[in-house]
Structure 1
Amino acid sequence: MNVNDILSISRTGLNGLQNNLDIVANNVANSNTVGFKSRDTSFTDLLENSTTPQDANVEDGQQNKMGMTMGLATHQQSINFTQGSLRNTDSPYDLAISGNGFFGVRGGDGQLYLTRNGDFTRDANGNVVDQAGRKLDVQVTVPENQWPQGTVSISQTGQIAIENNGRSTQVGRVILYQPTEPQDLQAVGDNLYRLQGGTLNSSLNGAAGLGTIEQYHLENSTTDLADAMSNMILTQRAYSLNSKVLQSTDDMLGTINEFSN
């Protein structure tokens, strides 16, 4: 192993720690985001090279029992889909899922996205939408722009009823979705997920294991702020140590170059 190899190892360490720092910072920034699921990072060693007698002062034959990795890489980040705590609200269109499942929202192109963010409202056209204007996937029995005035009630199974003057009108049902495998979901930003391969089940086809809908509730982020801040400090210190190793190696390389000249 030469000095250039050490520089390369330090570089992979800095890159990996920077990726981890970005993920931790994103978790911290979304600690108050409704329905946000924190990300976890894992690291993996790169190719391991056996040592030579020039690398380590060991007895003959012992160097093959030792090895030096060529650095580290950030493993694909995983999403923590555990249930977040629920908090009470005063809006009838604030919804949370207790258990598994996702709400479906439609973008302007009709693309289906999944989310745990149940911060919904009614727009000027009467549609139930999220804060970005994406329509909540609802199986309607009465067109949304024709829903009567009154008190909105959404059951745990998603049935939407509007009560007016003692009369209850069933107007639709909120649909819940669940992928067969959580790893089939790809985060696309803005607290949204898209199915990449696999199968998507819904409450309409009687999929088992789906949770219940809690009206007048929102789901909190799963970010543990104290744990995330501790992780950030440890990552920053590890980054600082790696940068010092890189600087020391660079100084060594400069000294070697002076002697060679």
Structure 2
Amino acid sequence: MQPVEVYRGDRPIVLGVPHAGTFVPDDIWARLNETGRKLADTDWHVDRLYSGLLAGASMVKANFHRYVIDANRDPQGVSLYPGQNTTTLCPTTDFDGRPIYHAGTEPDADEIETRRRTWHAPYHEALQAELERVKAKHGIAILYDCHSIRSVVPFLFDGTLPDFNTGTNNGTTCDPEIEAAVVARTAAAEGYSSVLNGRFKGGWTTRHYGRPSEGFHAIQMELAQKTHLASEDTPFAYDEEKAARLRMHLKAILSALETIASDLPRRAEQT
């Protein structure tokens, strides 16, 4: 299994998909307990949800599961949200805080480093290369990092998560116009709730690649899975009707970002 798949497009938008993969190597699978083997914390069907929404957009997709290693975590293991419950670079618990390994079989530091080199590094090498290619072609690259999560996860957050959770690390990872365009469209989506920089402010990927002054802009979208799944539990089936309704709004977001991407480099040259 290749760690990453890259679908190259000719537009200035790159879709990052770090958590939709479900591949787990046999040696790791053998050590996962029943909870771990459920793979409940997958960003279920996110690649399918965004597929074809913006013709010519690139997509970089991790094929491995986040239980192998989390492609949206700092490779040095630094916490994204100090003082809050979160999962680690190589998770040993699920989003409910329950162990996912048989006792005594969790990865040690050497194994974590091997997993980082084998899985995490190739994903980010591919993502970096695609962003640089797009930036060279268009003078700008917008990374739109695609995520989803169950709408109720008490271990990670209180209450029910809004449907659209936009993250820009408090406005630092993209041009204000990009942030405003996404927020405007999520706020206008009838029947959906939304928040900017709430519980999810953007993961390591968004924070690492978002360098607006250099022409690299990044924004994370965390969707509540009730917006496109029949159920937020096994078998996590894709709901065609829900997804079709949601995709209209996601398409509007991506189309707005493309329009902005065509204008920002020109304005930058004039300043």
The TM-score normalised by the length of structure 1 is 0.22
- Specify which structure has the higher proportion of helix: 2
Q: Which has the higher contact order (CA 8 A, sep 6+)?
A: 1
The TM-score normalised by the length of structure 2 is 0.21
